[in-house]
Structure 1
Amino acid sequence: MILNKTSLIALFILISVIGVNAQTSKKLPKVAAKKLSTDSLKKKAAQDTTKKNTLKDYKTLLKKAKTVNGIFKVHQVETDYYFEIPLRLMDKDFLVVNKISSVPMAINEAGVNKGMNYENKVIRFHPNILAKTVWVKTIVPQVESPAGDAITQSVKDNFVGSVIESFKIEAYSPDSSAIVIKVNKVFDGTEKSFNDVFTNIGLGTSPKPSLSAIEHIKSFPQNVVVRSLMSTSVTEGQSTIAISVAVTTNILLLPETPMKPRFADNRVGYFSTPRWYFSDAQQKLETRELITKWKLEPKPADRARYLKGELVEPAKPIVFYIDPSTPKQWRSYIIDGIHDWQKAFEAAGFKNAIQAKLVTDSADFDGDDIRYSVVTYAASPKSNAMGPAVVDPRSGEILESDVIWWHNVMTSLQYWMRVQTGIIDSGARKNNFSVEQMGHAIRFVSSHEIGHTLGLKHNMGASVAYPVDSLRSPAYTSKMGGTAPSIMDYARFNYVAQPEDQVTNITPQIGVYDKYAIAWGYRWLDTQDPRKELETQKEWIKAHENDPLYHYGEQQSTIVDPRAQSEDLGDNAMKASEYGLKNLKRLVPQILNWAAEPGDSYYQAGKLYMATVWQWNTYADHVMANIGGYYLEHPVAGDGKKAYTPVPKAIQVEAMNYLKKELFNLPEWLFKPALLSSTFAIKDTPLGPFEYGPYNLKREQQSSLMYNLVADDRLLRLLEMETIYGKDNVYTVTELLREIRETSFKQTLKGKSLSLDERMTQQNYVDVLLVSADKLMEKVNKKSLQPLVKNNLPELCDLTPRAFQDNTAVKGDELRNIHVSSMTRTSDVASAKRGELIKILTLLEKNKTNGDEETRSHYMDLMLRIRQSLKIN
C-alpha cells in the first residue's frame, strides 16, 4: 500500500491518539472501566470518605428546598433545581421528549404550535465516581444480539453511546442510595444537550440564557416534567424579531422489558422503526422494521377467552383527553371520531380498546405529563392537523400520542365541501355551516388523525377499490361507507355523485382496510418471538391479497402509480373527473349567490372561485398521472404479482383525450363574464389578498399542467416501458408529443387566425419545451440521486386545499419513488424535445404569413424564441 502525504499525516494522528488513550487507560483503576452494580456504587460511596468530604452536605445543600417526590426527587432552592437520582436508575434507558407549550405570533403563523413534538432521544445517566460527575449518554437503541453469542461483545464495542452532558455530583443522599446533581444548565438555555428547540423548529438560533428560565419542574412515578421559557431573536433583513417559546421536556423511564415487537410488511401501511439483529449463526446482518403500535394485550385471566375468539377488554386501553381549550360545540364530534375506531379494534379482538375523555376539575390529568395523550387545540391561522406518536425505539411501542388540531382546519373543510358536494348537499353552500354540518366533517378529520396516532400511514391507494359509478349509488355508498375503504386515504368528499343520484353518504369513514390493518397489527398472538408471528402475518395478508378493498398504496413523492393519488376517487380518473366537472359547471353560476349575502363584499366569492379553479386543476392532475404511470406492487414469491406494470395503453390514450379537451382548450364555463364582472379569483397572501386576472390565471394553470405533462420523469418512464415491452405495445414519447402538437396547433394546420386563448396554448407549449430542453443541458447534479424511501415518521397532514397552498406546503410523508432521472441529458428525452421544437419551427415557417396580424406576430415571436434557444441563425 502506498501512502500519500495526507494519509501519512492521518496515520500519525491516529497513532498519537491511540498512544494517548493507551497511556490514559493504564492510569485508570479497573473499577472505572466496568459497569458498577447498584450495591457496589453504594459501597463505594459509603467507603470513600475522602470523596464525600469534598462534596456538600445533603441537609445543608437542601435546607431551604421545596421537594417534589417522584421517579427522581426534585429539589428547588430559589432558582436552583436539583435532581436526586437513585443509583438503581443509573444506566437505565430514559426517553427525553421535547414539546412546544406556547408560542408567539411570529412562529404561530408558520404552523409551530402548542403540543408539537420536535425532538426525542434515548439517554442513560452514568456515574463517573472518580471524577465526581454524572455523565449523560445518548444512545441509538437500534441493535440487538443474543446474550451468549460471541458477537455480542463486538456489538457493545461498536454501538456505544455518546456523552452529551456532564453534571457535577453535588451531594449523596443520607443513605448513599442516590446522587444529587444541579440541572439548571440543560433547561435554562445555557446548554442545548437536552433541548435544542430553535434548531429543531428551523430558526437556527441559540437561546439567550439571560432571557430564558425554568418555569417549573414536576416529578411523577415514571417521569420528570420540566417546563422552560426559551428566548432568542431572529434577524430578517434589517428587522430583528424577539421570540420566546415555552417548551416542555419529559424524561420518561422506558420499560425494563420492551414490548414484544411486530415486524412490518410493506403490504400493510404502518409507520415503523428500524431494528438490526446480530448473531453468531448469521451469514449476514438481519434488518427489520418494527411497526409502531400501542401495547394492547388481553389480561392474563382473559387470554384463553381471547384466543377462542371472544371480545375482551385490553389490560391497558388507549385513552385520549380532549384539550379543555377546544370549543364546546366540537368536542363531541372529536370524541365520536376517536370512538369510531372501536369497531376496528373489535376486529383485533378487543372491546373498549380506545377511549376519549373530557378534562374535568376532578380528572387525574396533567397536560404536560407525557403519560397522557391529548387532542390539543391550537389557535392558529394554519388549516392543518397532525397525529404524531412518541415511540419506544427499542420495540416500536407507542408510549403516547397527540393530535394537534389547528383551528382553521374548518376553513379547509368548508371549501372542500362547498366545491366538491355543494351541488348535491344544500347544507354545504353558504359561508357559515350549521354546527351539525361542520361537526360531521370534524369527526372525519378526527378519525383520520387518530389513525396516525395508532401507527397507520396514509393509504393513498384505497379509493381505487370503489368503481366510479358505484359512488353514485345510495345503496353502495351506504353499505360500504363514504368514499373509500380507508379513512387513511385523502379521499375527501364525494364529488362524483350527481344531484339526481340522491347520495347522502358522502364523507370518508373508517372502512374495510382500516379494520383489516388494525387487526393485522394489533391482534395478540401467544408467542414471545416476533419471528414466530411472521407466517401468521403473511397468511392474514394472503387471505385478501387479490381483493382491492384491502389494497395498500404508498404515498408517493412523484406520482408514479395513478391509483395512489391524493384527493382522487374511484377506479377511473377520467370518468370520475368528468362527473366532477359536471358538478363544477353547475357550481360556477352559483358562486355569487352562495358566497355573497346582500351587503357583503365579493371577497368570499373570489376565494370560492379560486377553489373551484383549483378543483378543475386537480381533476386534470389526476388524469395526467395515468400517462407514463406504473402500477406498483410489493410482490412476494408465489403471489403472481408484478412489481411494475405500465398503465395499459388504452387508458393512457383515454387520459390524453381528456386533456386534449380540458387542458388544451380551456373551458369557457370556468371563466364566465357574469362572474368575472364581480370578482376575480382571490388568494390570501402575507401581503394581503391577490386578485388573479382571468388571462393570467389561465396562463398559470395551463402552463403548470403542461410542464408536468412533458416532465422529464414522465417521458423517461415511458421510455423505460418501451425498453421492456417494445414501442408497439406501450404509449410512447413520440405519440404523446405528436398529440400535444397536433392539438395545440390545430388551427395553424388549417391556416386559420388564432384567438387569444389559442395563441396562449401554443406559447405555453413552446415555452415548457424550451425551458425543459434548456435544463436538460445543464450539468447533472450529483445530488440528484434520491433514495426510494425517505424517513417514514409521522408528519403533518396536508389539509390545505390546493387553491390556498403556498410553494412550501407540507405534503406529508413522501415515500415511494422510481429513480429514472440520472443523466437525462444523454437520454432520448433530450432528442425528443429538441426534435419537437424543430417540427414546430418548420410548421410555423410554412404558416408565418397566414392569419390576422396578431397571429402572424405570434408566429414570428415563437420562431425567434425557438431559434434563439436552439442557436439557429
Structure 2
Amino acid sequence: MIRIIAFTFFLLPILLSAQNQSFSGYFNFEWKDSTGQILLEVDKLEQEFLYVNALAAGVGSNDIGLDRGQLGNERIVKFQRSGNKILLVQPNYQYRAESDNAKERESVKEAFAQSVLWGFKIASEKKGKIMIDLTPMLLSDAHKVAARLKASKQGTYKLDASRSAIYLPRTKAFPKNVEFEATITFTGDAQGRYLRSVTPSSDAVTVRMHHSFVELPDNKYTPRKFHPFSGYYDLSYYDYAAPIYESMEKKYIYRHRLEKKNPEAEKSEAVEPIVYYLDPGTPEPVRSALLDGAKWWNQAFEAAGYINAFQVKMLPDDADPLDVRYNVIQWVHRSTRGWSYGASVSDPRTGEIIKGHVSLGSLRVRQDFLIAQGLLSPYNENDDNHSPMMELALARLRQLSAHEIGHTIGLAHNFAASFNDRASVMDYPHPVVKIGNDGKMDMSDSYAVGIGDWDKRTIIYGYQDFPDGVDEEAELKKTIDQSIKEGYLHISDSDARPAGGAHPYGHLWDNGASPVDELNRLSALRARSMKDFGLGSITTGTPYSQLENVLVPIYLAHRYQVEGVAKIIGGVNYTYALKGDAHKVINEVVDAKFQKEATDALLKTLAPSFLEIPEEILKLIPPAAYGYRRDRETFSRYSSITFDPIAAAEGSANHTLSFMLNDDRLTRIIQQHARDESQMSLSDYLNKIVNQVFNDKGSNGIQHQIANSTQRLLVMHLLKLSRDTKGFGQVSAEAFKVMAMLIPNQLKTRDANATFIEKMIIDGMDISKPLTLPSMPEMPPGSPIGCE
C-alpha cells in the first residue's frame, strides 16, 4: 500500500516569510513566528469573562462522538495574579448568595471549591504590560479527546506536542472576543474499528481545537422564571441568601436577549433581531430546505409580538462558524448516520444565550430517502424516479432544521406534541404515509409544514416583551394557564424515553392522538409495503443483495409505535403541574380498557404471520455481492452469509417482548391492581402473553420456526425477571409462577423446541446455579430516523 502524504506549513495561508504578528481586540496578543508561541497581554486582572472550547475539525464517527463544530463547556473565568504567576480561575456559580451583604456573599464563595484551570508564568512585564505564554493551554487536550477515545474503547492515546501547533488562519481578534485555534495530534494504538474506519493512519489522530475568550454580557438582561410546562431548558443554581420559607434552588430559562423597539406596541421590530447563519458548505437542495425550515421560527416570534425578529442568512465565506458572534447552522459529515444537535453558548449567571450552534448530520437525509424508497418501490419503470423520495427527505430536513434551532433558542423536547396533531417541531416525528383511495402510497402529508401551535406558545412565554409597570410573573402565569386551557400537552425527555416510561402520550417517533390506532394503521401500511416490495425497490445496476438495506426500515416500520403502545400498559397520565395551575389531570392511572387494547395490539406484533417475511422477497435477496458487504444496518443472522428471515423475526419479537416485560412496567401493573381490582393483575397479563406466544404456531414451516423462536425469547425474558435481585420481588415471584405452569400446560408436545424450553426452565429455576441464557438478538439501529 502506498501512502499519499503532504507536508503542511501551518502558517502558509497567512505568511510566506517568518514574521511576528500583533492582534488587537478584547485581549491583545502576539504571534511569535520563530517559536510558534501566542503571547497574551493580561490587562483584565480579576475581571470575569467567558471561556469556551470547541472542536473545529472532528473525527467523523457518530459512535465516537467528536464532531466538527462540537461545542465544549462554557465557563466564567478570570485571571488572578500571585507573584510571578497568573492563574486562570473559574469561580463557582452553582452556589451563590444573592444578597446586598458582601460578607454573606463572601461566606458562600469561600464555602465551595473553585477551579484553577491553568497557571502561567509571566513572560514579560514592561510599564505595567503583563504578557503570558498562552501556547501550552492552547495546545492542551481542552476538549478531552483522549478520554473520549478511551471511553468509546478506541484505544489509549496521548497528546503528541511534536505534531501539534497553533493554527493561525482561525486565530483572530475582535473587540468583544478573541478566537484561537490549534492543530492537535494524538498518538496511540487503535483498538476499535470506529476509529480505524475514519482515520488515514489510526496511530495518529489529528483534530483542531478552538478556544474563545468572550466579554460577558452587560447587566441589562432580565432572567425569566422557569416553569416546567413552559417548554424550556432550565438554568438552576442554589441561592444561600434565599429566605428560609423559599426554595434555595433558583430556576430560569435559557433564551436569547430580545427586546421590542416599542414595548407598548402590539407588534414591533426588535432592537436587535436574532440572526442565524447557514453553513455555506451545505449543498443544494439541502441548503434551501434548511433555510426554509429555519425561517419557520419567525412565525412564532410574530405570535409573540415581533416583526421580522428571527432571521436566517448565509454565513459569510470569511466567517468562522465557531466565532461566538454568529449563530450557526452547520452541516456535519460522519461515516455513519446519527443524531443532530442544537447546542448553545450561554451566560452561566443568567441563562442568556450568546451563541446558538446547530450541528446537522448529513447522512440522516439519506435514511429518510431510504424509508420512502422502501415504502414506494418506485423503480419498476423509471430508474430516475427519485422525486417522491426527495420530497419526503427534504420535508424532513425542513422540520429537522427548525427542531435543532429550537434547542438553540432554549426549547426542550415536547414528545407529546403528536397528541395535539403535530403541534410542535420539538417532537420527533415519524413520516405520516397513508394508503390513498386509489390504493397508492400518499406522502403528501409526510411531515408538518411550518412552526407548530405549541411552539408559538413557548415563544410567547419566553420572548414576549412586557412594557414597564406590567407584572411579568402574573402575565407568565396567564400564558401557562392559556396553554393548558387550549389542551396542549408537554412531556419531555426523561418521561418519554421508552424503556421504563409510563406516560401514555409522550413518545418518540410516533404519530396520532391514539398510540394503539396508529400502531394498527402502521401495521397495515407495513403489510402493504412488503406486498409491493421487490425489484422496483432498487435501481438498475444495484446488487440484488442491497434489497436487504431497503427492507430493514420497512419491516421494522412499527418499532417506535410499539414503544409508545407499551407505555400505556401500567401507564400513568400526568402533567408538569404546579399548585395554582389550570391543570385538571395531575396523576391518574391509565384506564383499564385502554391498557387492554394496548396489550392486544402489541400481541399482534408477536404473531408469526406478522413477523414472516414473504417468500417472494426471500427469493430476491442473495448473499452480499462481491465488493459489497453487510453492515450493522442489516439484520442479524444465524445462517452465515445467507439472508436469515428467522433472525429478522426474532429481532422484532424481542423488541416487543422487551417493552412488554420491562420490570418497571410490571411493577406498576402490580401496584395498580392492588389499588384497583378492575385493573389487570400481573398474573393475568403474563398468562395472556404466554397463551398468545405458545398457542399461535403459525400456518407454514417458516411461521412455525418463528413461533418456536418467540417462545424461547419469552422464556428467556421470564427467567431474567425471576432472577432479578434488584427489582420488586413480587415481579420475580409472578414470573417464577408462570414458568412453573408452562411445563404442564404449554409444553405438552415433545418436539425439540419444547424439550429445550423445558430444560431451560428447569435449570433457570434452580436458584443454586447461575443463570446462563443464549444471547438475545438485536435489531439494526433505528433511532434517529435518519443509532441507538
d(CA) in 1 for partners of 2:429 and 2:613? 27
d(CA) in 2 for partners of 1:369 and 1:604? 43
Per-residue deviation at 1:336? 1.1
> In 2 relative to 1, CA 538–103 (structure 1 residues): closer, same or farther, beyond 3 Å?
same
Per-residue deviation at 1:533? 2.9
Question: Counterpart in 2 of 1:42?
Answer: none
* Equivalent of residue 357 in structure 1, options 313, 318, 324: 313
> In 2 relative to 1, CA 200–400 (structure 1 residues): closer, same or farther, beyond 3 Å?
farther
Question: Counterpart in 2 of 1:120?
Answer: 74
d(CA) in 2 for partners of 1:347 and 1:635? 25
Contact 2:545 2:623 in 1 (8 A): no
Contact 2:64 2:149 in 1 (8 A): no
Question: Counterpart in 1 of 2:179?
Answer: 225
Counterparts of 1:843-858 in structure 2, within 5 Å, are 843-844=745-746, 847-848=748-749, 856-858=751-753
Per-residue deviation at 1:660? 2.8
> In 2 relative to 1, CA 380–503 (structure 1 residues): closer, same or farther, beyond 3 Å?
closer
> In 2 relative to 1, CA 182–659 (structure 1 residues): closer, same or farther, beyond 3 Å?
closer
Contact 1:82 1:183 in 2 (8 A): yes
Counterparts of 1:542-581 in structure 2, within 5 Å, are 542-549=481-488, 551-555=490-494, 556-557=496-497, 558-581=500-523
2:589 is aligned with 1:646: yes
Per-residue deviation at 1:226? 0.7
The residue identity in structure 2 corresponding to 1:663 is L
* Equivalent of residue 215 in structure 1, options 167, 170, 179: 167
Between stretches 495-504 and 513-522, larger displacement belongs to 495-504
Question: Counterpart in 2 of 1:485?
Answer: 423
Contact 2:258 2:271 in 1 (8 A): yes
* Equivalent of residue 868 in structure 1, options 751, 763, 768: 763
In the TM superposition, what whole-angstrom CA distance separates every residue of 1:504-552 from its partner, at most 9, and x where no partner exists?
33313421100111111111224699xx633321221112314333544
* Equivalent of residue 388 in structure 1, options 343, 346, 365: 343
Contact 1:448 1:487 in 2 (8 A): yes
Match of 1:92, SS?
A: coil
Counterparts of 1:284-433 in structure 2, within 5 Å, are 285-299=247-261, 302-305=262-265, 309=266, 311-360=267-316, 365-383=319-337, 384-418=339-373
- The unaligned stretches of length 5 or more in structure 1 are 1-62, 467-483, 749-753, 781-820, 849-854
Match of 1:249, SS?
A: strand
Question: Counterpart in 2 of 1:813?
Answer: none
> In 2 relative to 1, CA 253–553 (structure 1 residues): closer, same or farther, beyond 3 Å?
closer
d(CA) in 2 for partners of 1:412 and 1:630? 34
> In 2 relative to 1, CA 539–416 (structure 1 residues): closer, same or farther, beyond 3 Å?
farther
Aligned residues: 711
> In 2 relative to 1, CA 370–640 (structure 1 residues): closer, same or farther, beyond 3 Å?
closer
d(CA) in 1 for partners of 2:213 and 2:767? 68
d(CA) in 2 for partners of 1:622 and 1:126? 54
2:622 is aligned with 1:660: no
Per-residue deviation at 1:769? 1.1
Question: Counterpart in 2 of 1:738?
Answer: 687
* Equivalent of residue 53 in structure 2, options 95, 98, 102: 98
TM-score, reference length from structure 2: 0.83
Question: Counterpart in 1 of 2:417?
Answer: 462
The residue identity in structure 2 corresponding to 1:647 is V
Question: Counterpart in 2 of 1:804?
Answer: none
Per-residue deviation at 1:136? 1.1
d(CA) in 1 for partners of 2:425 and 2:372? 16
The CA RMSD measured in Å over matched residues stands at 3.2
The residue identity in structure 2 corresponding to 1:495 is V
In the TM superposition, what whole-angstrom CA distance separates every residue of 1:109-139 from its partner, at most 9, and x where no partner exists?
74422111133322111122xx122211012
Question: Counterpart in 2 of 1:76?
Answer: 31
Percent of matched pairs sharing the same residue: 21
In the TM superposition, what whole-angstrom CA distance separates every residue of 1:223-266 from its partner, at most 9, and x where no partner exists?
11111011112424599621011111111111242621111111
> In 2 relative to 1, CA 497–259 (structure 1 residues): closer, same or farther, beyond 3 Å?
farther
2:731 is aligned with 1:836: no
Per-residue deviation at 1:460? 0.4
2:657 is aligned with 1:701: no
Query: Which aligned segments of 4 or more residues in structure 1 are displaced greater than 6 angstroms?
Result: 420-423, 426-429, 680-683, 686-691
d(CA) in 2 for partners of 1:428 and 1:447? 32
In the TM superposition, what whole-angstrom CA distance separates every residue of 1:17-61 from its partner, at most 9, and x where no partner exists?
xxxxxxxxxxxxxxxxxxxxxxxxxxxxxxxxxxxxxxxxxxxxx
Per-residue deviation at 1:584? 1.6
Per-residue deviation at 1:395? 0.6
2:90 is aligned with 1:138: yes
d(CA) in 2 for partners of 1:150 and 1:418? 68
Between stretches 610-619 and 384-393, larger displacement belongs to 610-619
* Equivalent of residue 449 in structure 1, options 377, 401, 404: 404
Match of 1:871, SS?
A: coil
The residue identity in structure 1 corresponding to 2:187 is S
The residue identity in structure 2 corresponding to 1:187 is L
Per-residue deviation at 1:699? 2.0
The residue identity in structure 2 corresponding to 1:261 is P
Per-residue deviation at 1:609? 0.9
Per-residue deviation at 1:182? 1.6
> In 2 relative to 1, CA 242–640 (structure 1 residues): closer, same or farther, beyond 3 Å?
closer
Per-residue deviation at 1:103? 3.1
The residue identity in structure 2 corresponding to 1:504 is S
The residue identity in structure 1 corresponding to 2:302 is E
Contact 2:49 2:213 in 1 (8 A): yes
The residue identity in structure 1 corresponding to 2:528 is R
> In 2 relative to 1, CA 75–488 (structure 1 residues): closer, same or farther, beyond 3 Å?
same
> In 2 relative to 1, CA 692–535 (structure 1 residues): closer, same or farther, beyond 3 Å?
farther
Between stretches 377-386 and 520-529, larger displacement belongs to 520-529
Contact 2:269 2:307 in 1 (8 A): yes
d(CA) in 1 for partners of 2:358 and 2:134? 31
Contact 2:606 2:693 in 1 (8 A): no
Per-residue deviation at 1:503? 7.6
The residue identity in structure 2 corresponding to 1:151 is E
TM-score, reference length from structure 1: 0.76
Contact 2:419 2:489 in 1 (8 A): no
d(CA) in 2 for partners of 1:703 and 1:417? 25
> In 2 relative to 1, CA 82–564 (structure 1 residues): closer, same or farther, beyond 3 Å?
same
Per-residue deviation at 1:661? 2.6
> In 2 relative to 1, CA 428–422 (structure 1 residues): closer, same or farther, beyond 3 Å?
farther
Per-residue deviation at 1:173? 5.0
Per-residue deviation at 1:643? 3.6
Counterparts of 1:761-772 in structure 2, within 5 Å, are 761-772=710-721
More helix by share: 1
The residue identity in structure 2 corresponding to 1:863 is E
Contact 1:111 1:382 in 2 (8 A): no
Match of 2:523, SS?
A: helix
The residue identity in structure 1 corresponding to 2:598 is A
d(CA) in 2 for partners of 1:540 and 1:493? 31
d(CA) in 1 for partners of 2:312 and 2:100? 42
The residue identity in structure 2 corresponding to 1:635 is A
In the TM superposition, what whole-angstrom CA distance separates every residue of 1:153-176 from its partner, at most 9, and x where no partner exists?
3223224633232222233454x3
Question: Counterpart in 2 of 1:759?
Answer: 708
> In 2 relative to 1, CA 284–454 (structure 1 residues): closer, same or farther, beyond 3 Å?
closer
d(CA) in 2 for partners of 1:68 and 1:737? 72
Contact 2:167 2:181 in 1 (8 A): yes
d(CA) in 1 for partners of 2:264 and 2:191? 68
The residue identity in structure 2 corresponding to 1:132 is N
d(CA) in 1 for partners of 2:468 and 2:301? 20
d(CA) in 2 for partners of 1:236 and 1:687? 24
Match of 1:126, SS?
A: strand
d(CA) in 2 for partners of 1:659 and 1:435? 32
Contact 2:666 2:682 in 1 (8 A): yes
Larger radius of gyration: 1
- The unaligned stretches of length 5 or more in structure 2 are 1-17, 197-201, 637-641, 698-702, 769-788
